[in-house]
Chain A
Amino acid sequence: MPGRIIRWIDQRFPLTSFVKHELTGYPTPRNLSFWWNFGFFAGFVLVLQVATGIFLAMHYKADVALSFDSIQHIMRDVNYGWLLRYMHATGASAFFFVIYIHMARTLYFGSYRSPRELLWWTGQGLLLLLMATAFMGYLLPWGQMSFWGATVITNLFRATPFIGDKVVIWLRGDYTVGDATLTRFFALHYLFPFLIIGAVMVHLVALHTVKSSNPSGIDLADKDNIPFHPYFTAKDFYGLGLFLIVYSVFVFFLPDSLIEPANNIPANPMQTPNHIVPEWYFLPFYAILRSVPNMVGGVVAMGLSVMVFAFMPYLDRSRIPGGAHFRPVYRVLFYVFVIDMAVLGYIGYIPPTTQSILIGQIATLIYFILFLLLPFLSKVEERWLMKRGLPPEVEALIESESREKSKLLQRRRQGDVA
């Protein structure tokens, strides 16, 4: 009976061939490490955010007079409302945490390089969508930080040439952040996740066209690829268990560690908080914004610091495989970048002092210098590595993989294998 149903469907819809092509037969490099789990985690958190978000929206009220109270209503009176709200708030942080590791993995192993540029760029688009969604979601509780964060960030659009003031009013729907802003942010906060789901589909189509990269950075021959299911489904679900343990520790035991105390005070347009901080995942970019004394310059620098990742396929001119794995110079750059991000994040968090501003400016300079030096350093490094010769195990791997491939090609030509 099930067989007949499947056959009935298959005549009308490519179900079996889809599952075979994308799952049970989808070739995946067998040497993928646990760093390759984070894309799956991101997909999982996306589903979690949509699921909890829809239920929160059933109890939330987008109205400046009601929204703060409606959050407390959810926290206190709705059955397991506190769980929904903490899962959603923690989920936003988890989303960025997972995505940042996913990006760091791509940078470390050079997964952005040809032929994966489009895959990387759709990822860049997803990052922007995620940032926009998180930013708008943060306004909804209508606390002090919600209000002042949205005020500061929408105000940045004044830097738009000629029509800056108009753009700000257009974004807010009013001269100041108010009811019009809250309702439109709510509407868009509900819409954007579905755009994200669409963009994830595109991301996956691109991935399944070029296939996963792997820690060696070398395209592996067929013998070293294994079907995604059951091998990587098993590995992904085991990883998911570990991820959920960390996530649950935050949801159940430390949920307030990710919520600024000032956001438990209702928004008050008449009173600026002592010091306005964004959520942790925006801190490095916020530090870059504050490091440039001129507002337009700051906005440009911040925008560039987010968008610069898209240029990576061209900034990195080395053809040595394996990303940072086999490239000592690139590896140093990578670690300096990570440390620099941490310093920027810290500087973005503390109230500005002359000292911290100076450190922030140095860190900002380092941030951009790293990217600017990359085309030059990657070429120098490539020449040096070529002259010195790659490590023997890499040479051996490249050789054996290409031998394997040419053998297969030959057999294919003789009609042995399909």
Chain B
Amino acid sequence: MKALMTLLGACCISTSALAFEAKLETVKVGSDVQTVERGMEAMMNACHSCHSMKYIKYRDLVSFGIDKQKVDGWRGDQPMDAAMLAQMSESDAIQAYGKASPDLSLIAKARDGGASYVYSYLIGYYVTPEGKPGNHIFPETRMPDILGMSGVTDAAQRAEIQGKARDIVSFLVWSSDPHEQERHTLGYYVLGYLFVLTFLLYLVKNQIWSRLK
């Protein structure tokens, strides 16, 4: 029996190892306003021309704590309640790249690996030996190397790009679930309350059961 289980386990491990083609770089995203704001700025400059953020309204940015003047600059004459649509229309993107550029407001939750996937994808560009652009994570991607990772070899410059990618991903993580921090805070209160309540219920139960002989 034990031998059979070991055998089963070994088979399972080997099949799951096959399922991952490329290893993802894990990224520690920031959830503070400064990081998200930096990521937001980088995203507006580098990605917003092609990608929309349709579930984010300009008002959400302000209520999260991002500088109102910056937000006003980005939205121009659009109302506060407008969604952050892309500058490029979907049909234009299909014309230019053969594929629509997906909306990014949920992207950090829409891929296996989440934030780490997006981060690894953004910095995963390289130049193949034949001199063609390639990507370790998504080899057949149609998106050009926006952050310019494949062009630089200097360690300091690469670190700078990685930092920028991390900021962008932090923003995308926030936008995929703007209530995450509120959820965690409430969660601690709820758990604290439940621990006290359960302890009291435990005492009540013991008290009542002690009446039995």
A positions within 8 Å CB-CB of B: 30, 69, 72, 75-76, 82-83, 86, 226, 230-231, 234-235, 237-238, 240-242, 244-245, 248-249, 251-253, 255-256, 259, 261-262, 264-265, 339, 343, 346, 350-351, 353, 355-356, 359
Question: Is A238 a contact of B60 with CB atoms below 8 Å?
Answer: no
Interface contact A76-B194, CB-CB below 8 Å: no
A265 contact set on B, CB distance < 8 A: 106, 110
Complex partner residue of A264 from B11, B16, B18, B106, CB under 8 angstroms:
B106
Q: How far is the CA of A91 from the CA of B150 in the complex (A)?
A: 46
- Whether A241 and B198, one on each chain, are in contact in the complex, defined by CB atoms closer than 8 angstroms, is yes
Stretch of B67-75, B124-132, B134-142, B182-190 contacting A (4+ beta carbons < 8 Å)? B182-190
State whether A248 and B19 are in contact (beta carbons under 8 Å apart), knowing that A75-B179, A230-B208, A261-B114 are contacts in the complex: no
A259–B60 CA distance with the chains assembled, in angstroms: 25
**For A249, what are the chain B residues with a Cβ–Cβ distance below 8 Å?**
187, 191
In contact, A261 and B11 (Cβ under 8 angstroms): no
The 5 sampled A-B contact pairs (Cβ below 8 Å) are: A82-B177, A226-B212, A252-B187, A261-B112, A261-B114
Which residue of chain B is the closest to A255 with respect to CB atoms?
B183
Q: Which of B60, B183, B191 contacts A82 (CB 8 A)?
A: B183
* A259–B12 CA distance with the chains assembled, in angstroms: 23
CB neighbours (8 Å) of A234 from chain B are 201, 204-205, 208-209
Give Cα distance in the complex from A241 to B19, angstroms: 40
Whole-angstrom distance from the CB of B209 to the nearest CB of chain A? 6
Taking a contact as CB atoms under 8 Å apart, the answer to whether B204 and A238 are in contact is yes
Q: Which single residue of chain A is at the shortest CB-CB distance from B55?
A: A72
In whole angstroms, what is the CA distance A30 to B209 when docked? Answer: 10
Q: Do A76 and B208 touch (CB < 8 A)?
A: no
The 9 closest A-B pairs by CB, nearest first: A252-B187, A241-B198, A264-B110, A238-B201, A234-B205, A238-B205, A264-B109, A234-B208, A82-B179
B190 contacts A72, C-beta separation under 8 Å? no
Q: How far is the CB of B29 from chain A (nearest CB, A)?
A: 14
**A residues less than 8 Å from B179 (CB atoms):** 75-76, 82
> Do B212 and A231 touch (CB < 8 A)?
yes
Using known A-B contacts A261-B109, A264-B110, determine if residue A241 contacts B212 with beta carbons closer than 8 Å: no
Shortest CB-to-CB span from A152 to chain B, Å, is 19
Do A350 and B16 touch (CB < 8 A)?
yes
Q: Tell me whether B178 is interfacial, beta carbon within 8 Å.
A: yes
CB distance from B109 to the nearest CB of A (A): 5
Q: How far is the CA of A241 from the CA of B198 in the complex (A)?
A: 5
Q: With contacts A76-B55, A76-B178 known, is A252 near B191, CB below 8 A?
A: yes
Q: Is B6 an interface residue (CB 8 A)?
A: no
B28 at the interface (CB under 8 A from A): no
Query: If A76-B179, A82-B179, A238-B202 touch, does A351 touch B19 (CB 8 Å cutoff)?
Result: yes
Chain A residues within an 8 Å CB radius of B16: 350
Q: How far is the CB of B94 from chain A (nearest CB, A)?
A: 13
Query: Residues of A contacting B111 with CB < 8 Å?
Result: 261
What is the 8 Å Cβ interface bit string for chain B, positions 6-48, against chain A (1 contact, 0 not)?
A: 0010011011101100000000000000000000000000000
> Is the beta-carbon distance between A245 and B109 smaller than 8 angstroms?
no
- Chain A residues with CB below 8 A from B194, complex form: 241, 244-245, 248
Identify which of A30, A241, A251 contacts B201 (C-beta below 8 A). A241
- Interface residue from A75, A76, A231, A253 paired with B60 (Cβ < 8 Å): A76
The digit string for B169-213, where 1 denotes a CB below 8 A from any CB of A, is 000000011110001101100110011011001101100110010
> When the two chains form their complex, are residues B198 and A238 in contact, meaning their CB atoms are under 8 A apart?
yes
Minimum Cβ distance to chain B for residue A268 (Å): 11
Contact of A256 among B5, B11, B109, B202 (CB under 8 A): B109
What residues of chain A lie closer than 8 Å to B195, measured between beta carbons? Answer: 245
Query: Which A residues are CB-close (under 8 A) to B106?
Result: 72, 264-265
Contact pick for B208, options A86, A231, A355, CB 8 Å: A231
| Bound Cα distance from A237 to B191, whole angstroms | 16
Residue of A nearest to B117 (CB): A261
List 19 additional contacts besides A230-B208, A231-B209; criterion CB under 8 Å.
A69-B55, A75-B177, A76-B179, A83-B183, A231-B208, A235-B205, A235-B209, A238-B205, A241-B201, A245-B198, A252-B183, A252-B191, A261-B110, A261-B114, A339-B5, A346-B12, A350-B19, A353-B18, A356-B12
Name the residue in A259, A261, A350, A353 with the highest tally of chain B Cβ atoms < 10 Å from its Cβ.
A261
Assess the A355–B205 pair: CB atoms within 8 A. Answer: no
CB distance from A238 to the nearest CB of B (A): 4
How far apart are the CA atoms of A343 and B12 in the complex, in Å?
Answer: 9
- Taken together as a complex, chains A and B put the C-alpha atoms of A355 and B7 apart, in Å, by 12
B212–A30 CB distance below 8 A = yes
